[in-house]
Structure 1
Amino acid sequence: MLEIRDLVAGYGGVPVLRGVSLDVRAGEIVAVLGANGAGKTTLNRAISGLIRPDGGSIGFEGRALAGLSAPDIVALGLVHVPEGRKIFPNMSVRENLELGSYRRAKANRAANLERVFAIFPRLKERTGQSAGTLSGGEQQMLAIGRGLMAEPKLLIMDEPSLGLSPLLVEEMFALVARIAADGLAVMLVEQNVVQSLDLAARAYVLENGAIAMAGAAGTLKRDPTLMTTYLGL
């Protein structure tokens, strides 16, 4: 579904990603792991059309994404839930969710809204509440729900557990598993190594803008060098 080959990207001519190659297949969860500064967010921004790559290629369902704008990429079904939630704090929960279908799946807005409320009942309880007054966990649910409103074929989730309590982290990973159980492909970009590897089928480890390790999640989880050498844990 997603095919990245030899991707080079950065800012102001300074490379962050140095020849990254990875794949996400239909219906699978793939984890992309790495410490702060490894290049995870730059990778997400390049895939989503928020920055223009300096080299390499990105393909989605056989179509090259080079030159496409971020809205055009969303329209294809590749949806990015950004790090830090990026909700609209002064708008209501419902308004935030409805904006998720602005570029894609507008005709199915009502049905998708009910689907999101079924996954996140707490959002339904707070439909008219200003998004900025939600707890951190609820804001993360809102960000994911907004992404689901676009009927994604592939959902990129950037650090969904960031800033959450251990209990909410457990809940968040359970929700990701539930979403993926319906056949949605998920690229889970995380620093939370153990739980990401428990959830994913395959994983890639980014270090200094390059893929340092890749393979089946279960195999990587048993690799003694993963935590110490590449993630600094």
Structure 2
Amino acid sequence: MLEISGLRAGYGEVEVLRGIDIAVHSGEIVAVLGSNGVGKTTLNHVLSGVLTPRAGSITFEGRSLMGAASTAIVEAGLIHVPEGRKIFPNMNVRENLELGSYRRAKNNRARNLERVFETFPRLRERMGQAAGTLSGGEQQMVAIGRGMMAEPRLLILDEPSLGLSPLLVEEMFTLIRKLNADGMPIMLVEQNVVQSLEIAQRAYIIENGIVTMAGTAESIASDPELKRAYLGL
């Protein structure tokens, strides 16, 4: 579905992505893993049309998105749930969710809203509540639900476990697995290496703006270099 080849991007004179190659196929969860500062956020900014790439190619379902506007990317069905949730705190839960269908799937808004509430029953209970008064886990549900409202062809989740308690992290990864089992391809961009590899089919490790490891999640999880670098083993 998504093929990224030789992607280079940065800010000013600083090059952050130095030739990234990543592919996501239909039906997969693909984990893109790395610590802070390796280029994960820059990659997501490029894929969302917020940052213009300098070189390489981005192809989504056979269509080039290289340098495309963010509105065109959303309309194509490549939907990004950003790091830090980025909800509208003074708007209620329903209003936040409905904004997810502003550029795409507007005609199916009622049906998709019901699907979100079936996935997140707690949001139905808090439909009229200001989103800024929700717990961190509930705000993450709003952010993911807002992405679902656009009927994503591919959903990019950026650090969905960030700032959550261990119990809510477990719940979040269970939800991601369920969304994928229901047919949604997911690109999971995370620092949480262990749990991401448990639910992903394939994975990429990014260090210093390049992919240093790629393969099945199982093979990467058992790689001695990964255990040394990320798990301290």
TM-score by length of 2: 0.98
Give the match for residue 10 of structure 1.
10
C-alpha distance in structure 2 between counterparts of 1:7 and 1:66, whole Å: 10
Cα deviation for residue 13 of structure 1 reads: 2.8
Deviations 1:29-76 (A, max 9, x none): 000000000100101111111100011010100100023211110000
Kept in 2: contact 1:80–1:147 (CA 8 A): yes
Contact persistence 2:116–2:145 (CA under 8 A): yes
Matched residues in 1 for 2:6 and 2:206: separation?
Answer: 13
Q: What is the TM-score of this pair, normalised by structure 1?
A: 0.98
Equivalent residue for 2:77? 77
* Alignment partner, residue 167 of structure 2: 167
Please state how far the C-alpha of 1:232 moved relative to its aligned partner. Answer: 7.1
- How many Å separate the matches in 2 of 1:21 and 1:71? 24
Report 1:84-233 matches (<5 A): 84-229=84-229, 231=230, 233=232
User: Is this contact kept in 2: 1:35–1:232, CA < 8 A?
Assistant: no
Matched, 1:37 2:37: yes
Is 1:27 equivalent to 2:27 in the alignment?
Answer: yes
Which sits farther off after the overlay, 148-157 or 60-69?
60-69
Structure 2: how far apart are the matches of 1:46 and 1:20? 12
Runs of 4+ in 1 over 6 A off after TM superposition: none
Alignment of 1:49-88 (within 5 A): 49-88=49-88
| Of 81-90 and 7-16, the range deviating more from structure 2 | 7-16
| Residue identity in the other structure for 2:24 | V
Given that 2:8 and 2:17 are in contact with CA atoms closer than 8 Å, whether structure 1 keeps it comes out as: yes
Render the CA deviation track for 1:56-114: whole Å, top value 9, x for unaligned. Answer: 01010010002321111000000000000000000000000000000000000000000
Cα 1:20/1:196, change in 2 over 3 Å: same
| Aligned residues of 2:53 and 2:67 also touching (Cα < 8 A) | no
Summarize deviations over 1:172-200 as a string: whole Å, max 9, x none: 00000111111111000001111100000
The whole-number CA distance in structure 2 between the counterparts of 1:180 and 1:145 is 14
Q: Where does structure 2 lack aligned partners over 5 or more consecutive residues?
A: none
Deviations 1:138-160 (A, max 9, x none): 00000000000000000000000
